[in-house]
A and B are shown apart, each in its own frame.
Chain A
Amino acid sequence: MIRATLLFSCILVLGHQLKAQKVIARQGHVAFFSYTPVENIKAENNQVLGIVDLETGEIAVSMLMNAFIFEKALMREHFNESYVESDIYPKATFEGMVLDFDADLSQDQTRIIKGNFSMHGVTQEIEIKAKIGHRDENYIISGTFDAVVKDYEIKIPPLLAGNIAKTVSVDFRFECLPYED
C-alpha cells in the first residue's frame, strides 16, 4: 500500500514536471500601421519568434526587421535602408513579464505585459495590454500598442515627414505551442 502510494506520488510529481513549462510561437505575427493624410503604410512580419515561460510569466520576442512585407517594394527599401537600418540593427526584441499571469486559467485573460522593447539600437520600457487565450496546450497572445517613431531615434527626412506618422500602431498575435527543442 505504501509502495503504491509512493509510486502514485512519483507519477504525479513527474507528470507535473513533464508538463511543458514553456510555449513557443515560431510564426508570430506583428504588423504596423502608419496613417497620414498623404499615404497609409502597412507592413507585416509573419515569422516572429515568441517564447513564454508558463511558470514565471516571462516572455521573449525576437523579429528580423528585414522580414517585414510591404505593399510596395520602395516602402520596404526606405524602411530597411533609411529608417530602421536593418543591416546594422537586424533584430527587434522584447523581453518582459506577463503580470499576474495564470497559465492554468481556461478562459481568456487580459493582462499587462511589461518589459523592454529594443529596436534600432534603442531600448524603451513599455507596457502593453494583451489578451491571452488558452486552448488545450496552446496559448494565443494578441494585442496592440503604439510606438513613437522618434523614441527609437528613427530619422525621417523632412521631405518625407508628411508620409510617415509620428506614432505607428503595432498589432501582434502569437499562437504558442508547447516548446520542443
Chain B
Amino acid sequence: MSKKSKIIVGAMALGVVLALVLSKGLATKDIDMLNSTAEVEITAENLLSVLGEGNQKAIDSLKSERVFEVAGWVKETNLMNGRITVLLKGNEDLPPYIICDMMPHQKKAVSQLKPNDSVKIKGIFKGFLKDAVFLDCIITFSQTND
C-alpha cells in the first residue's frame, strides 16, 4: 500500500471513529428512571427537616444528581409552565416542599393524584432552594387517603 493510500485509509478510519463518538454523544439518553435503582430512600419529612434545620453540612451531604425515592404526601399537582409537577409535603401542611418535575409519560398517573394522597416518587435530586428540587420523576407507589 502506497503512502498516499495509507493516509487516505487512516483519515477515513479517523472519520469513522469521530462519527461514532459524535453520534454516541449526541444520542446520549436521559436516565432510564423506570429501571434505575434509588441510591437514597428517604421520607419527605426527613428530607425537609434537613432543609428546615439549615444545617449546611447536612444539606451538603445530600449530594445532587443522585436518584432518590421520596415517600410523602401530595400537597398539590399542577401544570405550571407546561410541566407536570407534584409538590410533596412532610407531616405538616407548611413549606418548604419537595418540587417534583415529572416525566411526560406520568401525566395520567399524576392526574389521578389528590391532595394528601400517600406517594413514593423517584427522581434525580438537583438541590435545595427554598424547597427541594427533583427532575425526571416517576411515581412508584400511590395510595388514596380519603
Residue numbers of A with Cβ under 8 A of B are: 24, 26-27, 29, 44, 46-49, 62-64, 66-67, 69, 72-74, 77, 90-91, 173, 175, 180-181
Contacts and interface: CB of A to CB of B under 8 A. Distances in A.
Given A27-B99, A73-B30, A173 B129 contact: no
B85 A64 contact: no
Interface string B105-133: 00000000000000000000011011101
B29 A73 contact: yes
Interface of B: 25-26, 28-30, 64-65, 78, 80-81, 83, 85, 94-95, 97, 99, 101, 126-127, 129-131, 133, 135
A64 B81 contact: no
- The DSSP consensus for interface residues of chain A is strand
Given A62-B129, A67-B135, A27 B81 contact: yes
Contacts of B133: 47, 64, 67
Given A26-B99, A66-B65, A73-B29, A49 B80 contact: no
A73 B28 contact: yes
Given A47-B101, A66-B65, A72-B26, A180 B126 contact: no
Contacts of A48: 129
B94 A180 contact: yes
Contacts of B127: 64, 66-67, 90-91
B46 to A, nearest CB: 20
Contacts of A173: 81
Contact of B81 (A29, A62, A66): A29
Contacts of B94: 180
B101 A46 contact: yes
A181 B51 CA distance: 13
A27 B80 contact: yes
B130 A26 contact: yes
B28 to A, nearest CB: 4
- Most interface-central of A27, A90, A173 (chain B CB within 10 A): A27
Contacts of B99: 26-27, 47
Nearest to B31: A73
Nearest to A49: B129
A90 B25 CA distance: 24
A154 B92 CA distance: 42
Contact of A67 (B80, B95, B126): B126
Contact of B83 (A46, A72, A74): A46
A74 B80 contact: no
Given A26-B99, A66-B65, A49 B130 contact: yes
A90 B133 CA distance: 13
Contacts of A175: 80
Contacts of B131: 26, 47, 49
